Structure 1
Amino acid sequence: MPNLWVAIPDSSLSDEQTKRDKSVKIAQFARACSIFRVKRVYVYHDPLSQFEKEDPDLLRTVLRYLDTPQYLRKALYPRMAQLEFAGILHPIKAPHHKAAQDIKTVRAGDVRTGVLAKVKGALYVEAGLGSLVPFDGQGHEGKKVNVKFTQPWPKLRAMEATDLDIFEYWGYEVKEVPSAIKLLSGMENTVTIVTSRKGTFFKNAEVKIAERVQASENVLVVFGAPKHGVHEILAKEGASVRPEFIVNMFPNQATETVRLEEAVLGTLAILNSSLLSRN
């Protein structure tokens, strides 16, 4: 199955009035991405919309916070204004959000997410096991890292895990890009699907998209802003690049608009059922 990526604008929260409502909306994004195994979330700049200057940081911070296992949150996220309403947000409960575990039950080959700590010049990893575990490798204190345990207790040791060590969905990463045009022009071996009410009905492009997906490593789905579509944003940037597919995922919609959080959930559900489950 190809890697699934999504892109949303930094103006995604512009139609919400309070930090509480914005935080809830971000949690809806995070839940949708985790349900459908999104591995990367791009946040691109929207030059057309007006939004509060704190919104992009709030968006990135809450997305990353929700993807972080609960046992690491205090270590990685001190008390901060962006997380004022974190306590009311629904948890993701993805496979990498493992519960605290008795260190004696860890087996060689097990994988967990941890954060590096330094004690008397030596590196250890905090991985929700009740005590630090010696870490074989390099890194800086406070770095979030996926680790594989190489020996069981009582000689437990860990090293950085590779993609080959992880067999489950392991959350998403959040990347910031300066513009939609830079995002689209920088993709290689990636099927790019831009969602738009002005696009071709998905059913009419489904077979062609499916063929491209089967031959590609990645699928990138790009969503527009609450008040501006991707085509408008690209036009503002003077873009000459044309996305591979511009698709209307909600033909015959009865509402005047489809909210961004609804578009993300609905689009990913359709793609999962039609395309991604074939691979």
Structure 2
Amino acid sequence: MTNLWVAIPDSALSDEQTKRDKSVKIAQFARACSIFRVKRIYIYHDPLSQFEKEDPVLLRTILRYLDTPQYLRRVLYPRMNELEFAGILHPIKAPHHRPPQDIKTVRAGDVRTGVIAKVKGALFVEVGLGSLVPFDGEGSDGKKVNVKFTSPHPHLRAMEATELDIFEYWGYEVKEVPSIVKLLSGIEKTTVIATSRKGGFIKNNEAKLAESIKNSENVLVIFGSPKHGVHEIIAKESSNIKPEFMVNMFPNQATETVRLEEAVLGTLAILNASILSRN
């Protein structure tokens, strides 16, 4: 299945006034991306907008926090200012957010997300089973890792899982990039779709998009900021690099603007229904 990526600006929260509202908006991004199996979220710098310097930190922190299984959150996230409103945010409940489980029911081949712990020179993983599990492999203390159990209880052991061991959607990773141009110049075998009110109607591009995606390993959907479109941001950075597709996902919109969180959810829903489900 083709990997789905999205790119949102570090100014994504610039139209919200309070930390509470910003936190809720980030949770909407996380939910939308998880619903449609987004594997990577890029946060790119927007050179045209003004926003609070704390916004990018808040954005990446809450995105990563919400993707983290509940049983690991206290391990990876101490009390911090950015998570003040984490308690009111809707959980993702993706497949890798495993519920509590009796350690005796774990089978060889099962996969969970864990955190490496070093105890008296030996490596273990905390995987939410009530006790640490011996870990066969390498890694640093506190590193988040996906593990596969290689033997059942009472001789439970684990090793790092590969992509071939995971058959379900396993969440997204968050990466930061200095600009859209840097992002576009650093990816290969990727169909790039920029969303813009000035783009062509999705229906008119559907066949070409489907063919391009069929021959790509990844699909990257780029969203503009609350105040500036993708075309404006790219024009500010470079006149040479342009996305393969510039698409208007909401033709004949009745509102003056489409909010970023609405654009992400609506765009991914349209792409999923019309194109991505074919591949």
Q: CA deviation at 1:185?
A: 1.4
Q: 2:136 maps to which residue?
A: 136
Q: 2:178 maps to which residue?
A: 178
Counterpart CA distance in 1 for 2:245 and 2:233 is 16
Counterpart CA distance in 2 for 1:269 and 1:54 is 30
- Residues 114-143 of structure 1, C-alpha deviation per residue, up to 9 Å, x if partnerless? 000011010000000000000000000000
Q: 2:24 maps to which residue?
A: 24
**1:13 paired to 2:23:** no
Q: CA deviation at 1:93?
A: 0.2
Counterpart CA distance in 1 for 2:238 and 2:269 is 32
Q: CA deviation at 1:160?
A: 0.2
Which amino acid in structure 2 is aligned with residue 217 of structure 1?
A: E
**1:61 paired to 2:56:** no
Q: 1:158 maps to which residue?
A: 158
Contact 2:191 2:220 in 1 (8 A): yes
Which amino acid in structure 2 is aligned with residue 121 of structure 1?
A: G
| Structure 2 unmatched runs, 5+ | none
Counterpart CA distance in 2 for 1:239 and 1:60 is 29
Contact 2:234 2:242 in 1 (8 A): no
Quote the RMSD (CA, aligned, Å): 0.5
Q: 1:47 maps to which residue?
A: 47
Higher mean C-alpha displacement, 251-260 vs 235-244: 235-244
Counterpart CA distance in 2 for 1:77 and 1:170 is 20
Q: 1:200 maps to which residue?
A: 200
Q: 1:145 maps to which residue?
A: 145
3-state SS of 2:164 partner = helix
**1:125 paired to 2:125:** yes
Counterpart CA distance in 1 for 2:162 and 2:238 is 40
Structure 1 segments (4+ residues) deviating >4 Å: none
Q: 1:215 maps to which residue?
A: 215
- Residues 121-172 of structure 1, C-alpha deviation per residue, up to 9 Å, x if partnerless? 1000000000000000000000000000000000000000000000000000
Q: 1:4 maps to which residue?
A: 4
Contact 2:7 2:44 in 1 (8 A): yes
Q: CA deviation at 1:80?
A: 0.1
Contact 2:4 2:220 in 1 (8 A): yes
Q: CA deviation at 1:239?
A: 3.7
Contact 2:3 2:218 in 1 (8 A): yes
Q: 2:98 maps to which residue?
A: 98
Q: 2:228 maps to which residue?
A: 228
Counterpart CA distance in 2 for 1:117 and 1:250 is 48
**Structure 1 vs Structure 2: percent identity of aligned residues?**
82
- TM-score w.r.t. the length of structure 1 is 0.99
Counterpart CA distance in 2 for 1:212 and 1:48 is 31
Q: 1:85 maps to which residue?
A: 85
Contact 1:94 1:169 in 2 (8 A): yes
Which amino acid in structure 1 is aligned with residue 252 of structure 2?
A: N
Contact 2:49 2:227 in 1 (8 A): yes
- Residues 178-207 of structure 1, C-alpha deviation per residue, up to 9 Å, x if partnerless? 001001111200000000000000000000
Contact 1:181 1:239 in 2 (8 A): no
Q: 1:169 maps to which residue?
A: 169
Q: 1:34 maps to which residue?
A: 34
Q: 1:74 maps to which residue?
A: 74
Which amino acid in structure 1 is aligned with residue 130 of structure 2?
A: G
Q: CA deviation at 1:235?
A: 1.1
Counterpart CA distance in 2 for 1:129 and 1:45 is 40
Contact 1:4 1:37 in 2 (8 A): yes
Q: 2:268 maps to which residue?
A: 268
Q: CA deviation at 1:240?
A: 1.1
Q: CA deviation at 1:112?
A: 0.1
How many residues are aligned here?
A: 279
| Structure 1 unmatched runs, 5+ | none
Counterpart CA distance in 1 for 2:144 and 2:241 is 36
3-state SS of 2:146 partner = strand
Contact 2:197 2:247 in 1 (8 A): yes
Counterpart CA distance in 1 for 2:21 and 2:72 is 25
